Amino acid sequence: MTANPPKTDDLGAWTERVLPTSLTEIRGTERDVLMRLRELAYDDDHLFAVRLALEEALVNAMKHGNHSDPTRSVRVSYRISPDRVEIRVVDEGPGFDPSQVPDPTADENLDKPCGRGIMLMRCYMDKVEFSPRGNEVFMVKCR
């Protein structure tokens, strides 16, 4: 986990949650993020993109990062302004090297489930960055 929560700047304060490693915990965070997006009149395309990327990041953190270990948690931080959405997801796992994830669109990988979540995050968000350790993802969606 990151030692300190993300800092506040001109985009505003971060909302931060610590979720137990349980897929059922994802829905509440998604609901809160989407509610805030609707309050700021984001369109359906933005709602879909952010929901999909957030869900993929949280599922990956819980399943692959924390190996579904219920003693571990996932920290999710987000802030939403009229112009952009920023989301940070951190797990307690050992991390990974995103460059080593197979391309899910390659012929030999079409029947394999790995790599699709990262591909979707990159397709639907404007920016997706992983920490050097590989246990944290930072995503941005601009309006």
State pLDDT tens for residues 43-93: 999 999 999 999 999 999 999 999 999 999 999 999 999 999 999 999 999
CATH of the domain at 109: 3.30.565.10
Q: Looking at the 3D structure of the chain, how many domains does it have?
A: 1
Q: Of all helices (H) and strands (E), which one includes residue 128?
A: strand 127-130
Please say if the pLDDT value at position 141 is more than 60: yes
Q: Is residue 70 a part of any domain in this protein? A: yes
- Strand partners for 16: 77
* 110-116 average pLDDT score: 73
- State the pLDDT at residue 58: 97
The domain of 63 spans 15-142
> Whose structure tokens read 């790995």?
114
Domain membership flag for residue 65:
yes
